[in-house]
Amino acid sequence: MATAASTSAAAAVLASRLLRRSPRLLRRLSLSRAPPAALSSSSRSLAPLARQPIGHRARMGHTAAAAAAAGPALGLTKPNAVEPPQITFSAKDIEFSEWKGDILAVAVTEKDFSKDSDSKFENAVLKKLDSQLGGLLSEAAAEEDFTGKAGQSVVLRLAGQGFKRVGLIGLGQNAPSTAAASRGLGESVASVAKSVQASSAAIVVASPSGIQEEFKLTAAAAIASGTVLGLYEDSRYKSESKKTHLKQVDIIGLGSGPEVDQKLKYANDLSSGVIFGRELVNSPANVLTPAVLAEEASKIASTYSDVFTATILDVEKCK
């Protein structure tokens, strides 16, 4: 069961690693106009980076605000303001037909597409959904040559249903049995949701029995993590920034209750820490100057002063 302490420890490991890498970053940024700085950090418990990608979400363009405070960036590079995904995840044990929203994403294996002698789906979820849609699911799958193979997806626009669209996402031979496979499912859901600019989505695994009971909690968390990371695009240095529309994701059939909700929040927070690290690593040298890196470390330590500290060393102290 995830706890606040475990969230803190897991998410802040990334911060500590990045801070330990600072000498390499400083060498890479040695031509910066900003005065060189060295960082040392210690964590009594390791702090979370949850919801705090570079420079806090409330600040414009992440590193941009810190860069402005430390001095002008070299050259013409100016980061755009990018809002990382802010998604609310919920775990529900309801019939998928009861769900209302923009897109119902159904994860299916190749085995799930087996049909009986009457050309009806043998899988209970697909059979019920196809019946609810008047056979539209079978027709669309045939037209699009969708068979449940990994990497395949098809989206149908619907009328008269609680959900506006249904998306089929191929899993390949088996339901996800590893965290990596579950994250991949989340990334596929993110891709489908982005393609139709959905603001809400539900995820259903057509054969939940294919996922071991003890793994369902981990699978749900990994799906959530994959969805967040799949949605995020680092467009700070592109001419146009794409807006993230997805705000609500419900995971159906993999359990529900406080433990699952806490695990989903943990995964969401941890993904924000991953985004934080990616933004640091992907920032060009004339934006992530030594002074800006020091400023970011200082802000993290200030935000989580109860569990994390950072010491900024100037030129004299480095000698």
In this prediction, what percent of the chain has a pLDDT beyond 90? 49
Cα separation, 204 vs 219, whole angstroms: 12
Count of beta carbons in the 10 Å neighbourhood of residue 262: 19
Report which listed range, 19-33, 118-132, 232-246, is most confident: 118-132
Return the residue matching tokens 């939940």: 208
What pTM, to 2 d.p., does this model score?
0.74
The candidate with the shortest Cα–Cα distance to 270, out of 171, 179, 176, is 179
CATH 1.10.760.10 fits 88-279, yes or no: no
> Is 181 or 65 the better-scoring residue by pLDDT?
181
Cα separation, 166 vs 183, whole angstroms: 20
The candidate with the shortest Cα–Cα distance to 163, out of 106, 102, 120, 105, is 102
Cα separation, 319 vs 314, whole angstroms: 9
Per-residue pLDDT at 249 exceeds 60: yes
Task: For residues 254-276, give the mean pLDDT.
Answer: 93
Domain segments of the chain as ranges: 4-79+284-318, 88-279
The candidate with the shortest Cα–Cα distance to 106, out of 253, 255, 264, is 253
Question: Residue 313, exposed/middle/buried by CB under 10 A (0-12, 13-18, 19+)?
Answer: middle
> Is 274 or 18 the better-scoring residue by pLDDT?
274
Per-residue pLDDT at 53 exceeds 50: no
Report which listed range, 57-66, 264-273, 296-305, is most confident: 264-273
Task: For residues 2-11, give the mean pLDDT.
Answer: 45
Assign 241 a pLDDT band (cuts: 50, 70, 90): low
Q: Report the DSSP pairing between strands 88-92 and 163-170.
A: unpaired
Query: Half-sphere exposure of residue 259, counting CA atoms within 13 Å on the CB side?
Result: 6
